[in-house]
């Protein structure tokens, strides 16, 4: 059935024959393992070049018991948040000549276990879990496997090795910024329940309020789903409050933009009547109207760090298991001075 294409690439023993050495020697120069006399090495390298030799990754993996491949679990490549992480991971993996195998939860509708299976079948040497949704599911399943795992923005109880954004600092920066603009009634659109990140950002919001000397008001917290629609609905509720907020700190950029819609629908102007701060700084933040003030999360960098951590484990040179990355505030036009208190 399958067309047995004629193999054009040369194999190790052809190189060996051509260079007049044994395959072991070829292997040694190809992998820089073991001692080889310079002259011999030169002959071998010439032969490799001449025959356009490319070691067969699978055969190599089979013999060496490691694939030089890492699996990267994300929930949606279409979301720029994850695309950035993928980019960073690939860049760093490339440096060490590792390949990255993507596992996109949105593709595998049959469940996350299937997804992980696929990756493990492919014998990935390690795994990076950057999924926001189903972290818990993965954790349960991966605990029984023997692959090292690094998670990005997950909870450390589930995966000891992690790279995380400092949500506490992020929230503090947002609240300080708003308070500095004179805002006192600052609401929070929380993320979808069940996500570690939601809990952290909510808690950090409360802590930052307290630090700023503001009272926490449960009424000012509404729950969205980290996307547009629910966030819009949640915002509407906030706007209908007797003592409505003058500013909103949103779980992420998407929910922030959801706020925009509700604010407009209420006949108010974003950045003037109501200030909005997002979290993540995805590209959209720059293009929406008005451009969104938000906390920049260095996702590409985080992807790179995750790979570094993982490779360190694989190489037995692990020194740290946990890196916290700092966000910084990008001020755009969605925040402005608090309006003189509106009559209610």
Partner DNA sequence: CTGTTAGCGCGTTCAG
Partner DNA sequence: CTGAACGCGCTAACAG
Which residues make up the interface to DNA (CB under 7 A)?
7, 11-13, 20-28, 30-31, 33-37, 39-41, 53, 55-56, 59-60, 62-65
Instruction: Output phi, psi for 53, to 5 deg.
Output: -75, 130
**178 makes contact with its own copies (CB under 8 A):** no
For position 83 contacting its own copies by CB under 8 A, the verdict is: yes
Residues in 251-270 that interact with its own copies by CB under 8 A: 257
**Smallest separation (angstroms) from its own copies to the CB of 59:** 6
Q: How far apart are CA 274 and CA 268, in angstroms?
A: 7
CA pair distance 42, 153, nearest whole angstrom: 47
State the residue for tokens 């996500």.
195
CB of 148 to DNA, least distance (A): 18
d(CA 188, CA 335): 15
DSSP 3-state of 150: strand
Site string for its own copies, 137-156 (x = CB under 8 A): --------xxx---------
Q: Name the nearest CA neighbour of 161 among 315, 307, 327.
A: 307
Give the closest residue to 318 by CA, choosing from 326, 306, 310: 310
Q: Which is nearer to its own copies, 90 or 255 (CB)?
A: 90
H helices of the chain, in order, are 12-19, 23-31, 38-50, 57-64, 80-95, 112-121, 135-143, 167-180, 196-211, 228-239, 253-265, 284-287, 299-314
Partner interacting with residue 40 (select from its own copies, DNA, none; CB below 5-8 Å by kind): DNA
Rg (C-alpha) for the chain, rounded Å, is 26
Q: Which does 91 bind (CB under 5 to 8 A by kind): its own copies, DNA, none?
A: its own copies
Distance, in Å, from the CA atom of 32 to the CA atom of 16, rounded to the nearest integer, reads 16
The answer to whether the beta carbons of residues 150 and 309 sit under 8 Å apart is: yes
Q: Is 112 in the site for its own copies (CB under 8 A)?
A: no
User: Rounded distance, CA 251 to CA 233, Å?
Assistant: 14
Task: Identify the residue among 56, 133, 206, 236 touching its own copies (CB under 8 A).
Answer: 56
Judged by beta carbon distances under 5 to 8 A according to partner kind, the member of its own copies, DNA, none in contact with residue 99 is its own copies
Q: What are phi and psi of 209, to 5 degrees?
A: -60, -50
Q: How far is the CB of 327 from its own copies (least distance, A)?
A: 19
Q: Give min distance, CB of 16 to DNA, in A.
A: 7
* 108 lies in the site for its own copies, by CB under 8 A: yes
Q: How far is the CB of 32 from DNA (least distance, A)?
A: 10
- Contacts to its own copies from residues 15-44, by CB under 8 A: none
Among the listed ranges 81-89, 128-136, 151-159, 206-214, the one in contact with its own copies (CB under 8 A) is 81-89
Residues in contact with its own copies by the rule CB under 8 A:
1-9, 54-59, 61-62, 65-67, 77-78, 80, 83-84, 86-87, 90-91, 94, 99-102, 104, 106-108, 117-118, 120-123, 145-147, 257, 283-284, 287-289, 313-316
């Amino acid at each position: 059935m399958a067309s047995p294409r004629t193999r054009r690439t040369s194999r190790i023993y052809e190189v060996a024959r051509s260079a007049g050495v044994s395959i072991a020697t070829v292997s040694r120069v190809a992998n820089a393992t073991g001692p080889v006399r310079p002259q011999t090495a030169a002959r071998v390298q010439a032969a490799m070049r001449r025959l356009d030799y490319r070691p067969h990754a699978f055969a190599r993996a089979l013999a060496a018991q490691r694939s030089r491949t890492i699996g990267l679990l994300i929930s949606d490549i279409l979301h720029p948040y994850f695309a950035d992480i993928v980019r960073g991971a690939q860049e760093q993996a490339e440096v060490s000549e590792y390949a990255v195998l993507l596992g996109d939860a949105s593709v595998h509708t049959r469940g996350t276990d299937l997804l992980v299976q696929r990756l493990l079948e492919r014998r990935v040497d390690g795994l990076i879990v950057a999924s926001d949704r189903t972290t818990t599911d993965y954790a349960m399943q991966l605990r029984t496997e023997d692959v090292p795992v690094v998670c990005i923005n997950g909870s450390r109880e589930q995966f000891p090795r992690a790279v995380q954004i400092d949500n506490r600092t992020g929230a503090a920066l947002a609240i300080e910024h708003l308070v500095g603009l004179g805002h006192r009634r600052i609401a929070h659109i929380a993320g979808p329940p069940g996500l570690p990140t939601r809990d952290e950002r909510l808690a950090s919001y409360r802590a930052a309020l307290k630090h700023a000397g503001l009272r926490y008001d449960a009424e000012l917290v509404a729950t969205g789903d980290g996307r547009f629609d629910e966030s819009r609905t949640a915002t509407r509720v906030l706007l209908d409050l007797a003592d409505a907020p003058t500013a909103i700190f949103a779980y992420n950029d998407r929910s922030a933009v959801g706020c925009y819609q509700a604010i407009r629908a209420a006949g108010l102007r974003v950045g003037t009547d109501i200030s909005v701060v997002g979290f993540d700084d995805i590209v959209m933040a720059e293009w929406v109207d008005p451009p969104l003030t938000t906390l920049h999360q260095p996702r590409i960098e985080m992807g790179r760090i995750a790979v570094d951590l993982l490779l360190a484990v694989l190489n037995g040179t692990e020194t740290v298991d946990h890196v916290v990355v700092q966000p910084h505030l990008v001020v755009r036009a969605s925040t402005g001075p608090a309006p003189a208190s509106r009559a209610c």
